[in-house]
Amino acid sequence: MKVLAGEERRCGAHVDPRGAHVRFTERGASGGTRCGAVREEGDTRLASQISRINPSDQWGDRCRSQIALTSTQLCACASVLNTALLGSVSEWGKEGVLSPSAPVLLAPELRPLVAQQRGSEPNKSPLFLPFSCCSEHFHKLFNSVLGLLPVKMSDKVVLTYFNGRGKMESVRWLLSAAGVQFEEVFLTKKEQYDKLLNDGALMFQQVPLVEMDGLKLVQSKAILNYVAAKYNLYGKDVKERVMIDMYSEGLMDLMEMMMAAPFTTAENKPSTYSNIERKARERFLPVFEKAAARGDYLVGEQLSRADLHLTEASLMLQELFPSILDSFPKIQAFQARIKALPRIQQFLQPGSARKPAPDDHYIKTVKEVLIHLFS
């Protein structure tokens, strides 16, 4: 959601006929008005302000990367959007800073939910909450309302690949960091791959395949760029994006060496892994040790795909060479910060969508399905 704010006090909402955004206005006692619009985009500015008010609360992170509504959902939730954000908009100053005591007007649909969570009787549900309190409840309330709406097939995200890391693992990292749920179709037989080819689903006869927003996305770089751009993991301007690209491409070079290593012959494995360790120590890690010393993130002031790729790559390296980061304390500290993010923390837990390091079964399956590449 993107919130564009002006001056307000009493609210009313108008859904644009095209379904592109919800506009709202408030009239103050002094006769002045404020107005705003909720668009179907991620709003990093609002998220940063919320995070600034409640640094320990993760709603800012959720707003930045998770709330992306279709036009249909925007129309259906107009009153909710008008509710949860509007009261706070009235407290924005010239710098866009929200006040923790900003009164947030609750729509009728939300009042019983708030009352229940606060242990109040339904008939005593509040009309307003201070923003600092609202942030405690808002994502649960919002998700409760959205949960009542039907999910269109085009809203689903489906990943088609092997039940292993490979080139899909970075996509899983990005989607998980953005709070996006997805389904997975695992290739276990050549017939599945042949059907994808016959159906025309694979533009260049290659996986991974990601289906989202009515698109069939192939080519891992294109997929990662699309997901990063959609969920605000791609910087704020073209200068940040090119830096993110440079870091990401370097990390993908490193990770692709590690992805390919298990498929080498037994006699070549020692030299292959020795080469990976040498290049990591001499070419890649020094670059990121320097970059990680500049701040919380590799680029700019918000999480990007480059941060996630570095965390993923450094963990992969440690699996192969446990002491490899001992000489790179800044990368160690950086990795710890990213791993502490709630969604990443969850992704790294057993039973999540994260895949284990490749084993013999995974390698055998890939070779059987893509037999044309290994014969």
pLDDT at site 310? 98
pLDDT at site 155? 72
pLDDT at site 119? 60
Domain spans, the chain:
2-146, 158-374
Residues of the chain with pLDDT under 70: 1-154
pLDDT at site 375? 83
Give 158-374's CATH code, choosing from 1.10.760.10, 2.40.70.10, 1.10.3720.10, 1.20.1050.130: 1.20.1050.130
Let me know: does 37 contact 23? Beta carbons within 8 Å. yes
Let me know: does 84 contact 141? Beta carbons within 8 Å. yes
Let me know: does 127 contact 106? Beta carbons within 8 Å. yes
Going from the C-alpha of 72 to that of each of 83, 169, 215, the distances in angstroms are 18, 31, 18
Let me know: does 156 contact 181? Beta carbons within 8 Å. no
pLDDT at site 114? 57
Who contacts 10 (Cβ-Cβ below 8 Å, separation ≥6)?
26, 27, 28
* DSSP codes of every residue in 182-242: -EEEE--SHHHHHHHHHTT--TTS-S-EEEETTEEE-SHHHHHHHHHHHTT-S-SSHHHHH
Let me know: does 177 contact 232? Beta carbons within 8 Å. no
Instruction: Look at residue 257 and give its three-state secondary structure.
Output: helix
How many other CB atoms are there within 10 angstroms of residue 286's CB atom?
14
Describe the crossing of helices 238-260 and 269-279 by its angle, rounded to 10 degrees.
Answer: 160
pLDDT at site 260? 97
pLDDT digits (tens, 9 = 90+) for 169-193: 999 999 999 999 999 999 999 999 9
Q: What token pair was written down for 281?
A: 């120590």
Beta strands in 131-193, from DSSP E residues, in sequence order: 158-161, 183-186
pLDDT digits (tens, 9 = 90+) for 14-37: 433 333 333 333 344 444 433 333
How many other CB atoms are there within 10 angstroms of residue 244's CB atom?
24
d(CA 224, CA 257): 18
% residues pLDDT > 70 (the chain): 59
